[in-house]
Amino acid sequence: MVHDWGEREQVTMPKFKVERVYWLMKSEPEAFSIDDLAKAKNKTSPWDGVRNYKARNYIKDMKIGDYAFFYHSSCKLPAIVGIVEIVSSPYPDPSAWRENSPYFDPKSTPANPRWFMVDVTFKKKFKEPILLQDLRQNPKISDFTLLKKGNRLSILPVTQQQWQSILAMIHEQN
């Protein structure tokens, strides 16, 4: 009979559905920008230096294949500037063990690591950054942690709805 590939796809899709989780990762562009990541070897870099327990726990929740918004903070125009993919499982952050590192923490040891990181790879840089001031104007993401007063976390979970609402803002740009 007539093949209905659309319907078949709907039936079989859930079986192969990838459960991807979304995040937002902050970086000060003067320290490490999305262009730095794009220029890195294999466009991939460890995301080191996270020194906050809640953010650390989010890192530990990350899985290979998750996506994250790359956010530029502490700069003239704070904004989401692109997308990265998580390409490693969480593993101990060795910068905590280097005494000359700004991220040195004597309480973290190789035997008992306190801080973790993942490797991220460059996926895309938006033609126009999605500015924080514009995110604040979008009622669909009014609950987004990034926009909450007093938020200081450098790693944030992003719901699928928030992810899509934010991506939709790109198409509204000109």
Partner DNA sequence: GCCAACGTTGGC
Interacting residues with DNA (CB under 7 A): 26, 28, 51-54, 73-75, 78, 132-133, 136, 148-154
Compute the least distance from the CB of residue 72 to DNA, in Å. Answer: 8
**Which one-letter DSSP state was computed for residue 145?**
G
SS3 state at 90: coil
- How wide is the angle at C-alpha 151 spanned by C-alphas 104 and 86, nearest 5°? 60
- Nearer CB in complex with DNA: 14/102: 102
User: Distance between CA 7 and CA 30 in Å, rounded?
Assistant: 49
- Of 157, 151, 147, which is closest to residue 58 (Cα–Cα)? 157
User: Distance between CA 67 and CA 31 in Å, rounded?
Assistant: 21
- Nearer CB in complex with DNA: 8/98: 98
User: Distance between CA 170 and CA 147 in Å, rounded?
Assistant: 18
- Nearer CB in complex with DNA: 43/46: 46
Compute the least distance from the CB of residue 2 to DNA, in Å. Answer: 54
- Nearer CB in complex with DNA: 86/135: 135
Compute the least distance from the CB of residue 47 to DNA, in Å. Answer: 13
Compute the least distance from the CB of residue 23 to DNA, in Å. Answer: 13
